[in-house]
Amino acid sequence: MTNFFCNLGILWIFSCLLGIVLLAASSNKQNGAIISGHIAEEGQFPWHVLLRRDIEDELLCGASVISNKWVLTAGHCVDELDSVVLVFGRIELDVDDPMMTATKFHIHPDYNDNDLTDDLALIELPSVLNFTNNIQPIELVSTSEASNDFVGAKCYVTGFGRTSENSKENSEWLQWTTLEIINNTICADEFHEADIEDTIICSIGWNGTNQSPCDGDSGGALVWRNQANKFVQIGIHSFSKKKCSQFPSAFTRSIPQNAAIIHGDQASLGQYPWHVLIKRNPSDKLLCGGSLIADKWVITAAHCIDCRETVFLLFGTINLLGRAVNMTTDLLYSHPLFTPASFENDIGLIGLPIALKFNVHIQPIELVNSAEAQQNSFIDALTHISGFGSKYDQTTQPSPHLLFGSEEVVELSVCESRYAPVPQNFLCSIGYTSHNQHPCVGDSGGGLVWKNLWLKNKLIGIFSIHGAPCSRNPSGYTKSIPQSAAIIRGTRGALGEYPWHVILKQNPSDPLLCGGSIINNKWVLTAAHCIQCRDPIYMLFGTIRLLNAAVNRISKNLYPHPFFNPVTLAFDIGLVELNYPIEYNVYIKPIALITKAEADETDFIGVVTYVSGFGYYTDEMHELSPWLLWGVEEIINTSVCDFIYGPVLNSEICSVGFTAEKQHPCRGDSGGALVWRNKMRQQKQIGVVTAVKIKCSKYPTSYSRVSSFLNFIYNITGLNFD
C-alpha cells in the first residue's frame, strides 16, 4: 500500500523497503559524495538529512525524511553505532540547527556488512519532527511505479561528499546531480559479477557525463519524478567504486508498502471464493485484498481505500494477472473514526456499482455474528488467511498465484509487546505451523477466517498491521463487524463518536422519547411525531449512556412541520429551539446538513449510511438500550417502503441493513440522524428516522429526506445550509 498512512511505523516499514545490494570484492564501502554536482538551493531538497557520528563529526552519511518520526538511510551508515546526530533542512555543512540525536536504529535483519546485502536502515527520531518549507518528507515509490525497471530514467541524488575524486574534502554546500538508470546486466559487467539482482538499481552520469555520488553520500535518496511530476524516492545510495565517476553507482531499491503471505501455499480455484483482489487501476499489480460479504459489498482495511477516489476489483481469480470478473468503483467508505497513525478502526466498505453474480468461484463469506463474537475470544483458534503478497521475506514481488496460510490467534499482549500501543478491537495472531506462515506486504485488507462449530467459514478479522520481517512477527487484525451490529443488537458507540446525538424526553424521569441531532447551538432537528402536542421537551447532550447525567436543556419552542400527517407520517420532521444555547466540546458538536447541490448530484441508491440511537436493540425483547448504539444502512428504492408502509413521498428515504440480517433502527430511535459521508469525507445528515415496524430487523426503515426540508429549516431557524 502506498501513502495509506501519514505517520509510518516500524511495524510495517521494513516490509515496504526490502532491497538487496550485491557488491564486488573491489568495491568501496566508504560513504559517498557528489562528483561534478551543483549547489542546491535552500528548500530544493527538503527531505535530505545530514548524518554525523557526534556533534564534533563533520559528515557520516546522507539520509531522507520519510515521516515526522522516521528517517531512511543505508544500513552500513549506522551499523555498530550507539547514536547518530541528524541535521535537517540545511544546505550548509557547518550549520547544526535543527538537530537531533537518535539512538534507535532498525537495520534490516538480513543486512550483511561483508557484501552489503539488504543495506538499508530506519532511524527512529526521539521526538516528532516539525515540518517547514525546508524540512519535508519524501514519498516512497508506489507499487505500480515500482514495477518499472526505470532503465533510461533521469534521477536525482544529493549529498555533502567530495566534489572531486582528487579531493579529500567534503563539500561545504549540499550538492545535487542527475543520473541515468542503466540495465543491471551492464552494471554486473562493470563490477565483474555474474549478475546483479533486480532489487538494486544501478546508475551512471546523465547523458554520459561523469556526474556521480561518491564518498560521503551513502544513505542518501535516489529520487525520480513520476508521471504526476512529483518527486518519489526509488533507492538508497549504497556503494560506489573508489573511482566514483568511472563506474556505476548502486542503490538499494526502496519498495512501496502493500503486503503478502510468507511461506504460503498455492490456493486452488474456488478454495477462497470470497477473496477479492484490489488494485488502484487495471494496470496496477496489487494494492490490497478484500472479502466479498454480499453481492454489492466488499469489506477491507480502511487504509487500503482512505483518500482514494476509485479502486479496481477482481473476483474469483487465483492468478494475479489472469482474466477475471472485474469492475471499477468509487463507492469507498472508511470507518468514520479510522485513525491512520494508530490503525484504530482500520476497516472499510467498498460498494459495487452493480450486483455481482455468484458462481462456484465467486461466493460471499459470512461475518461472525454477535453471539459467536461474544462467546469466543478466539484465543488459540486456528484461522486461515489468503492473499497475493510475496511468498518470502527476501522478495518484494507479489505472488503470481493466490496463497493461503494458517494462523493461531494469541493474546493481544503478544502484539502489544511488539507494536504497542495496539487498538483494543484487534485480534493478534502468529503462524500456526513451523513454516511461520504470515500475511505481509500486499495482503492488507484480507480476511482472517475461522470455522465455527458447524464448520462454517466466518470472517472474524481484517488484516491491518505486520512487523519486519513478517515471518518473525505477529500479525494484527481489526475485528470484523458482527452481522447483527446495528441498532438491533447494535454496536456500542464510543464517547464522542456521534457528538450530535440528542436524547429527547417527555419529562426528566422519562427514560426515552426519541432521538434528535444538534444542527446549531440553539436548534435540534428531530421527527415531528416526537414533538407534536408535547411541550416542553427535555434533552440530554454528549452522553452514550441512557441513564447517565449529561448536559441538559429544556425546549423554548417546538416546530413540527405544518403539513405533518400523524397517520401517514408524511412531512415527519420538526425543530426544537433550546431555552438557551449549548456549549460545544469534544462530546457535543453539531452535524452539518446536506446541501441542495449535494442532493441534486445523487439519488443515494446503494449508498452506505450510519444511524445511531438508544432504541430497542432486539426484536424479541422490547427494551431500550442502556448504551448508544450505531448501525450501517444501505439506501434502497422507495418503492420497497411504498409497498410496506403505503404511498411514499419523494421527500422520504428508504433503507435496509447492509448485511443479510438486516440491521435497523427500532422503537425509540425515531428522530435520529441518518448520516452520510460526502466526497470530501465530511459527515452530513441526509435523513431523520420516521417509520419503523415492530419486527424492526425484518422491515426497511423510512426517513424524512432532509434536503426536501431545507427551506422549512431556514424559515424557522434562519440557518442556511446551502
Active-site positions read 76, 119, 218
Residue 607 one-letter amino acid: V
Q: 3-state DSSP call for residue 719?
A: coil
- Spatial neighbors of 266 by CB under 8 A, at least 6 apart, are 318, 401, 402, 403
Pairwise CA distance, residues 532 & 468, whole Å: 61
Nearest Cα to 583, choosing from 626, 643, 538, 522? 522
Pairwise CA distance, residues 542 & 553, whole Å: 12
Nearest Cα to 412, choosing from 474, 356, 471, 351? 474
Residue 116 one-letter amino acid: L
C-alpha cell at 426: 484487534
Pairwise CA distance, residues 358 & 421, whole Å: 40
Residue 250 one-letter amino acid: A
What's the distance, CA 654 to chain centroid?
Answer: 30
Give the number of C-alpha atoms closer than 13 A to the C-alpha of residue 67, restricted to the C-beta side.
Answer: 20
Q: 3-state DSSP call for residue 11?
A: helix
Residue 517's DSSP bridge partners are 501, 525
Nearest Cα to 672, choosing from 523, 511, 504? 504
C-alpha cell at 518: 444538534
Query: What are the strands, taking DSSP E only, across 200-307?
Result: 200-205, 212-215, 221-225, 231-240, 249-253, 265-266, 275-279, 288-294, 297-300
Full DSSP string of 84-128: EEEEES-SBTT---SEEEE-EEEE-TT-BTTTTBT--EEEE-SSP
Q: Output the CA torsion sign for 122, 126, 127, 133.
A: negative
